Chain A
Amino acid sequence: MSKKYTKGTFLIQSIVTVIVIFYLLPFLVVFLYAFKSPQEIIGSSPFSLPEKLELVNFTQAFEALNFFQSFGNTFFITASAVLLLILLSGMAAYSIVRGGNTFFNGTYMFFIAGIMIPYQVIFVPMFVLGSNLGFINNLFGVIFLYVGTSLPFAIFVMAGFMKTIPKEIEEAAFIDGCSIMRTFWIIVLPMLKPVAAALTIILSLQIWNDYLLPQLFLSDNSMKTLTVMQSTLFSAFETNFNVGFAGIILSSLPILILFLFMQKHFVKGITMGSGK
């Protein structure tokens, strides 16, 4: 809390450094093992550098994950669901905040109550309904369910942001004869960029890393997502788990890149999400 670098600060610095080293340990091990040969894993210390880079681990993991296919599926599901979520939550938040009567307020409460119900608790009837609607082995079905279940959170964040937008510009548009729909599309939607960026990261992380829904609905091999494929990788390569570790790197790389690109929006998004 003080600005000077005192003895106390040095003590804290040392403590944090030790903690961070422990935090890094698993990452370090994953990274080192992913480049080692099976013989080297048995023979050497886990923290020694690989003798030569075994890129064969990555090609094996690549094949075992059916990478292009499962990456494509995961990407398609995540990107479509997040895009739809941002659009739909924007629409809902706009009519809730600007609509301004008891009906719209009531709808807001209805949506927000949904935050308290995690989909993991109602997945059994969701599966029953989903199979009746033809959602089995159907990427669009899974997208639909992600959108529906994440909407409450997205609307909560969107509505919070919408309230901070001054409505003078919209009113000017109304005077110029713009309809509400048109105003939403050409004026309000572009103004949602900051909150959309933050939501993109939070929702992408959730959907990209999810396991239960794709596991339930996508049993066809050509439909499987990265997390589902990854879950089988370690049992397939029980003995030379360097391939498994290479798979970990492969399947987390895309979300890592997204995060690095949009990092600065993330904190903003989390803070908004926490209702500050």
Chain B
Amino acid sequence: MRLEGKNTQPMSITISSKPTSIVHKKKRVNARDIQYFLLLLPPLVFFIVAMIIPLIMGIYNSFTDWDGISLEKNWIGFTNYIEISKDEMFIQSFKFTGLFMIFNTIIQNIAAFFFAVMLDSSIKAKNFYRTIIFAPVLLSPILVGQIWTKMYGTILPSINDIFGLSINFNFFSSPDTVLTGLLVANNWQWIGYWMLIYLAGLQAVPKDIYEACTVDGGNWWQKFFHITIPMLGPSITICTIGIATGSLKVYELIVASTGGGPGDSSKSTIMHIYDTAFMSQQSSYASAMSVVFLLVLLIFAFIQLKVLRKREVEL
């Protein structure tokens, strides 16, 4: 649920050149910096140990043949990376994750946007509706996976009995429908979250722009396409990057629902990395896959940022 891509704002920190110059004479500038640095040190240690060192270790390990346990570790250059390009399971999991991401980004963005627009209109009991649509966000993806497994397996088929229909609801049982099944479950969980961001964005649009448009004889559709959508540019950027990067790390939902099956048809990249590292004990190979995956993630976020930022309008 982390909102990746938040570093998209201009990072201008407004600091006057000498904030405390009255008190701190030139001599004491150093003491002042040391005090600030002491405050900064503990968070830096946590961040470096938990993220930066593993990141560097991972990159280093990806060039070795280490299994994760033995003392022997040999430098083998790009062998792991060449291996990846021939690894059919990696390519398949990557394709699956990519499709999962593309569909999620499109569906969740559009649905969240329209829910927000609808729930920002003058309908009754808005807050009640918002709460219901948001509620699945509170559940762990493990629970969502379990709920939807039972929905598809038992509960929805019983609707067939009630209405005398014969729809095949068992989405998780066939490789052709498993993606659809996971998309429904995942969208059910997350649309409400992105809807809130769009709602916040809508509330920030000044009302007088709409009024000006009404005076000029603009109808609802013109307001929607010429005001609402352009003004929500920043929200679209955040949601698109957030949904895309979030979908790329899908793991829990699949563990709890399909377990990667049927066959290996719904194995995500993170799941494949997990299995490679801990089931087949190829730690360095898994690290190489992580590096490739991270690069894809970064390149992808960067392109999205460039494209989306370009079409944002400033107030």
Residues of A within 8 A of B (CB): 1-5, 8-9, 12-13, 15-17, 19-20, 23-27, 29-30, 45-46, 88-89, 91-92, 94-101, 103-105, 107-109, 111-129, 133, 144-145, 147-153, 155-156, 159, 163, 167, 171, 174-175, 179-181, 184, 202, 205-206, 208-212, 216, 227, 230-231, 233-234, 241, 244-245, 248, 251-252, 255-256, 259, 267, 270-271, 273-276
Q: Could you tell me which residues of chain B, from 112 to 151, have a CB within 8 Å of some CB in chain A?
A: 115, 118-119, 121-124, 129, 132-133, 135-143, 146-151
Which of A5, A24, A99, A151 has the most CB atoms of chain B within a 10 A radius of its CB? A99
Knowing A15-B118, A121-B270 touch, does A248 contact B249 (C-beta < 8 A)?
A: no
25 A-B pairs (CB sep. < 8 Å): A8-B220, A23-B133, A23-B135, A24-B132, A25-B151, A26-B151, A27-B135, A46-B155, A96-B13, A111-B47, A115-B6, A116-B4, A117-B51, A117-B55, A119-B50, A159-B13, A171-B20, A180-B32, A180-B35, A180-B39, A210-B140, A211-B141, A267-B200, A271-B197, A273-B6
How many chain B residues touch the partner (CB < 8 A)? 108
Knowing A97-B15, A274-B6, A274-B238 touch, does A9 contact B122 (C-beta < 8 A)?
A: yes
A231 touches B142 (CB 8 A): yes
Residue in B35, B132, B238 whose beta carbon sits within 8 Å of that of A23 in the complex: B132
A248 touches B50 (CB 8 A): no
Q: Could you tell me which residues of chain B, from 50 to 99, have a CB within 8 Å of some CB in chain A?
A: 50-55, 57-58, 61, 68
Knowing A12-B121, A163-B13, A274-B3 touch, does A230 contact B42 (C-beta < 8 A)?
A: no
B121 touches A9 (CB 8 A): yes
A118 contacts which chain B residues (CB < 8 A)? Answer: 2, 4, 245, 249, 297
**Chain A facing B: main interface SS:** helix
Knowing A111-B47, A116-B298, A205-B1 touch, does A274 contact B200 (C-beta < 8 A)?
A: yes
B124 contacts which chain A residues (CB < 8 A)? Answer: 5, 13
**Chain B facing A: main interface SS:** helix
- Does B33 reach chain A (CB closer than 8 Å)? yes
